[in-house]
A = this chain, B = another copy of it.
């Protein structure tokens, strides 16, 4: 991952600022001949779109995606559109750029935000809505992820919110079907009800909370991952950590594995179907030695609480003067919620890339 590009064979380059003309991405290296309609990308974007419940920012952005290149249809395809193997450029124009007074954010550094560090690095900063450091950039990832999902046949990628603030779900109640039934992408209906009240309280306090997201990929063939620095888990760690506000990433048992003894952690095997062993457990989260084992790939990551809050915080201005700041505006009280579709997109992109890399080096369909 370098600059604003990630992936080795399936490469995604994103661009755009929160309040600029447009944002988008170029997906390069996609296999040819995959069916791809704008509507499919739009469906993914709509899941991430702000303003869908009172628990996400009220900024109104239609987030309408346009495919600029890399697909083709004609009468021979009956009007169905296919990838051609050339770069797929996707663009989302910004529409809700309220004219507002940016003087405070222009001159002061909001605690927890990237205001100071962007200034320290570049000496110049598009401060409107956070500019390039805004989570709005993740719309471009979701669009790219919709393309990536097409690459590996038979794969399923789903994510869910498994903790909000200090409140974890009850995993025994996990039901993927519930994820679409509440505004939190929460797989535990009972905890989701609790979150409504809880997050309302946080929101009314002008505060915010963090969250933990879990993303699971099923149908990943064994053999994906390229030791030792192109390990599948290393690339997943980078992919998830690159999402705004993420502060930790773990695979399988993750940090809990540190507390285990060897005999509890090593997933045993028995004879399975065909030439694959059957694993009796999946502490490893589907990855051994950086290479997929055929078991579900399980990744979790922690999102810090939204830094924009209505409580006054101490800070400094560009010129070094001390100030007290309140970040007004339309904010997500739990920015982790909208990270759920982003997590799926990043998983899809990483797996698509490794699928192509494996096929390149080893040849057979893994």
Q: For A6, A82, A258, which residue has the most chain B Cβ atoms within 10 angstroms?
A: A258
Q: Would you call A1 an interface residue if the criterion is a C-beta within 8 Å of the partner chain's C-beta atoms?
A: yes
Known: A32-B362, A238-B1, A288-B116. A262 touches B15 (CB 8 A): no
Could you say which of B31, B123, B306 contacts A262, with CB atoms under 8 Å apart? B306
Q: How far is the CB of A109 from chain B (nearest CB, A)?
A: 6
Interchain nearest-CB distance for A270 vs B (Å): 6
Most interface-central of A120, A239, A272, A359 (chain B CB within 10 A):
A120
| B265 & A114 in contact (Cβ 8 Å cutoff) | no
Which of B66, B237, B292, B365 contacts A21 (CB under 8 A)? B66
Residues from chain B with a CB closer than 8 A to the CB of A67 are 21
| Shortest distance between the CB of A65 and any CB in chain B (Å) | 12
Across the interface, do A84 and B291 meet the contact criterion of CB distance under 8 Å? Answer: no
With an 8 A cutoff between CB atoms, is A344 at the interface? no
Q: Separation in Å of the A4 CB from the closest CB of chain B?
A: 5
- Is B3 touching A226 in the complex (CB atoms < 8 A)? yes
Copies of this chain, complex-wide, total 4
Q: How far is the CA of A277 from the CA of B115 in the complex (A)?
A: 12
Could you tell me if B31 and A302 are in contact, using CB atoms closer than 8 angstroms? no
**Chain B: CB-nearest residue to A34:** B124
CB distance from A38 to the nearest CB of B (A): 11
Interface size on A, residues (CB 8 A): 163
Q: How far is the CA of A95 from the CA of B231 in the complex (A)?
A: 28
Q: At the interface with chain B, which of A46-54, A69-77, A182-190?
A: A69-77
Bound CA span A122–B280, Å: 24
Within 8 A of B (CB), among A323-342: 336
Chain B nearest CB from A280 CB (Å) reads 7
A178 at the interface (CB under 8 A from B): no
Complex-state Cα separation, A109 to B366, whole angstroms: 19
User: A238-297: which residues lie under 8 A (CB-CB) from chain B?
Assistant: 238-242, 244, 246-272, 275-277, 280, 283-285, 287-294
A117/B223 in contact, CB under 8 A = yes
| A84 vs chain B, min Cβ distance (A) | 5
Whether B260 contacts A316 by the Cβ 8 Å rule is no
Closest B residue by C-beta to A266: B112
A181 / chain B contacts, CB cutoff of 8 Å: none
Bound complex: CA A212 to CA B223 (Å): 28
Contact A15 B69 (CB under 8 A): yes
- Chain B residues, Cβ within 8 Å of A226: 2-3, 29
User: Given the complex of chains A and B, what is the CA–CA distance between A67 and B91 in angstroms?
Assistant: 13
- Chain A to chain B contacts (Cβ below 8 Å), 30 pairs: A1-B238, A13-B26, A13-B28, A14-B87, A14-B228, A15-B89, A84-B125, A85-B362, A91-B91, A111-B267, A113-B289, A117-B223, A117-B288, A117-B289, A120-B276, A209-B258, A209-B262, A234-B238, A237-B240, A237-B241, A247-B284, A249-B249, A263-B311, A265-B305, A265-B307, A266-B309, A269-B315, A275-B320, A357-B360, A363-B365
